[in-house]
Structure 1
């Protein structure tokens, strides 16, 4: 026993070396734990920020989609109103002859209106579209169509038949009366057929009737002939 204590006495300085090493290890472990805790907190913070950013982006996406849909609905409504204005002329051929400029494609205003009409229809997106670029292109095309029709309509009403010679104006007037007869349900089928054929003859070389309106009238005349 005395030998052990003598040995310890000879190496007493190791206590400070070992103690210092243990203390260093303890401090190192503490620092590592602290860094690990900080990294965990940093990962949690990043994850929370990402979640918040994702939620904000989704919210903006919902708001943007709703705004695009509202813009599309407004453009579609304007498109429908403009179509109705034109269809009122297109399907009432007798009235259209009061304003023949609307179907005279030699007129720049008329050509522009018909081109804008085709473009607006071509660019019409699907009803559920949320493509902002496509919707805005459609909106602009519809606005151009509406504007060009209004300008052409105003000019056609101002000019009426004045661009035609007196002889041509007489032909337009006769064609107008004949078309009114062709659309008269009280007339016989044969009367309506003859009136329509004579009206087309009067208009030949002057103006071209709108395809849709002419086709609809031809169907009415044919139905009247078959019924008679």
Structure 2
């Protein structure tokens, strides 16, 4: 009998405790279910200076656009130096070697920046998305050009054999003569032809470089 009374007393203590635990479990399950079913709070949208209200921020937007246009034109000018100075171009042949990933990347980035450049910079003030695309394109263009130029300076003509480097050096001298207004048209034309022979299979001159030299020679012949 004593054992039965002890079991009964134990049940009196345990049953209420079980009830409390069960109630707590149900409450927690209900809370968890509500949390799971509740719609997630939308993440805050990313903002940029082009998403901010108009007014005082117009000046900041315009400064960003003006900086991008300046960086774009500045990088174009840096590339133009290579196209106009054939001696420099031949000192750093990687800059025209389209087999090089960095060189190819730079030219692709250049085209992208030109594509996104508006006829008037002011047009970007009223078009935040177009402005963002242009700024991103210019940043990529400048970065890609810097990388290609750094690689070209690092390698210079190291990828060419001694004989090939001598051919490039001869081509440099010949191209200087081809661009020399003091030389006769015949001398310039012959020098240009010999320079192209020296560079055959080594370096491809940009179209604009070849066109400038050929126009200069043709202009002297027509005089």
**Does the pair score TM above 0.5?**
yes
Alignment partner of 2:155 out of 159, 169, 188: 159
Match of 1:108 in 2: 101
1:45-85 Cα distance to aligned partner (Å, 9 max, x none): xxxxxxxxxxxxxx943445444333221111100111111
Q: Distance in 2 between matches of 1:88 and 1:125?
A: 24
Unaligned runs of 5+ in 1: 1-58
Match of 1:175 in 2: 171
Is the Cα contact below 8 Å between 1:125 and 1:135 reproduced in 2? no
**Structure 2 residue 161 is matched with structure 1 residue 149:** no
Q: Distance in 2 between matches of 1:92 and 1:185?
A: 15
Q: Distance in 2 between matches of 1:69 and 1:93?
A: 37
Q: Which has the higher helix share?
A: 1
Q: Distance in 2 between matches of 1:77 and 1:142?
A: 10
Alignment partner of 1:61 out of 54, 64, 81: 54
Q: Distance in 2 between matches of 1:139 and 1:146?
A: 11
Q: Distance in 1 between matches of 2:196 and 2:58?
A: 50
Deviation at 1:179, TM superposition (A): 0.5
Q: Give matches, 1:13-162, under 5 Å.
A: 60-127=53-120, 128-129=122-123, 130=125, 131-162=127-158
Alignment partner of 2:211 out of 208, 215, 226: 215
Unaligned runs of 5+ in 2: 1-51
Aligned residue-pair number: 169
Is the Cα contact below 8 Å between 1:68 and 1:132 reproduced in 2? no
RMSD: 1.7
Q: Distance in 2 between matches of 1:124 and 1:213?
A: 24
**SS at structure 2 position matched to 1:205:** coil
**Structure 2 residue 197 is matched with structure 1 residue 201:** yes
Deviation at 1:206, TM superposition (A): 1.3
Match of 1:188 in 2: 184
- For the pair shown, which has the larger CA radius of gyration, 1 or 2? 1
